[in-house]
Amino acid sequence: MSENPPAYPPPPPSSVPPPPPGQPVYQPPPAPQYLQQPPNQYQPPQPYGMNPATAGIGGAAGLISQFSGRAAWSCGIGLVTIVAPFVVHFVFYLLALVGLLYGVQAIRRGQLIGGIVGIALNVVGGLLTIVILTSG
């Protein structure tokens, strides 16, 4: 034997005596069928809400949320500044500037798409107002 002790000492002797010969020994039940599949055939369940049939609904809800709050006000004001001169023959002088302000606030709150659409509508409405005022 070597001078170094073994890394793991042998287990202590069992205090339970072995069963007498001829007596049945407990056998654990077999594993369920789903545990006996090879590991390459196991497919983990999809996370909650990731059903491919409803994935488009989640995307639409995310896009709709971009047009709420300040972004909705910015888009609405932009539409009013564009439509009002043709429908009621009236020009709102400073309304496009208010819509621009709301568009910037929407972008700063994380509604990038709605803010950009609102700013674009207000720029068109402001340019339309300038053209109508200068053409007489």
Confidence of residue 126 (pLDDT cuts 50, 70, 90): very high
pLDDT value at residue 66? 84
Cβ count within 10 A of residue 15: 5
Residues 58-87: b if buried by 16+ CB within 10 A, e if exposed: eeeeeeeebbeebbbbbbebbbbbbebbee
pLDDT value at residue 125? 95
pLDDT value at residue 64? 81
Cβ count within 10 A of residue 111: 23
**The whole model's pTM is what?**
0.57
